[in-house]
């Protein structure tokens, strides 16, 4: 009896497998026909279609938001390098810079509008996205003020004032070397008068 039960179970599983395979094949053929408009398809009820639309919009929105937030908390180093190079050579970027936090807000608002503001998730995305945009704009304004008020004067000091000071420092070192050489020569020279003249001349140049 036990053996017959096992054989029956195996046959039943095999029959289920064959049945499922046939069903999958039939579904695949029907789906292919619908895609090429060679077969009619039964339309879902309006409420079911709306539910599926909201689901698709929410799924895509969530993916976009996750990607945008990851870029916000882990900025692309290439974007930083590009920004530094633009600032260094005072070049205008091809596209206006958008703060990552503002980009997150823009995506939230667009996603919420796709889902619909009559849906709780869509309404929440639009509301929070609006706040996130304001945060991004405030962040961009803060960084812009730092650039104009703090960094530009410091860069001007490094690029202009420091160069002038370094040039003057180099010239001063040359004069000092000339003076020290004249003093050393004066100590060992046989012609005391000529050495003294050289020392006086070097001293005058150094003081200048």
pLDDT in tens, 171-193: 888 887 877 777 777 666 555 55
Confidence of residue 8 (pLDDT cuts 50, 70, 90): very low
In the predicted model, is pLDDT for residue 109 greater than 90? yes
Confidence of residue 147 (pLDDT cuts 50, 70, 90): confident
pLDDT in tens, 63-104: 999 998 888 888 776 766 565 556 555 566 566 677 888 899
Q: Which of 85, 87, 75, 81 is nearest to 147 (CA)?
A: 87
Residue 114 vs residue 189, higher pLDDT: 114
- C-alpha atoms less than 13 angstroms from C-alpha of 161 in its C-beta half-sphere: 7
Beta-carbon contacts of 91 under 8 Å, excluding residues fewer than 6 positions away, are 85
For residues 72 and 106, the answer to whether their CB atoms sit within 8 Å is no
């Amino acid at each position: 009896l036990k053996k017959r039960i096992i054989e029956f179970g195996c046959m039943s599983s095999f029959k289920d497998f064959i049945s499922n395979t046939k069903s999958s094949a039939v579904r695949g053929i029907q789906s292919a026909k619908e895609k090429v408009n060679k077969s009619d398809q039964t339309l879902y009820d309006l409420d079911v279609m709306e539910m599926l639309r909201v689901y698709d919009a929410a799924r895509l929105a969530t993916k976009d938001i996750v990607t945008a937030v990851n870029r916000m908390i882990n900025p692309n180093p290439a974007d930083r390098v590009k920004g530094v190079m633009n600032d260094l050579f005072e070049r205008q970027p091809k596209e206006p810079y958008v703060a990552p936090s503002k980009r997150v807000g823009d995506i939230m608002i667009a996603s919420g509008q796709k889902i619909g503001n009559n849906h709780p998730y869509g309404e929440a995305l639009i509301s929070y996205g609006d706040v996130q945009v304001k945060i991004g704009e405030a962040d961009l304004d803060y960084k812009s003020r730092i650039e104009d008020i703090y960094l530009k004067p410091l860069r001007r000091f490094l690029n202009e004032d420091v160069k002038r000071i370094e040039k003057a420092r180099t010239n001063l070192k040359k004069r000092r070397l000339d003076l020290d050489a004249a003093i050393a020569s004066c100590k060992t020279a046989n012609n005391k008068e000529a050495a003294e003249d050289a020392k006086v001349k070097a001293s005058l140049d150094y003081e200048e």
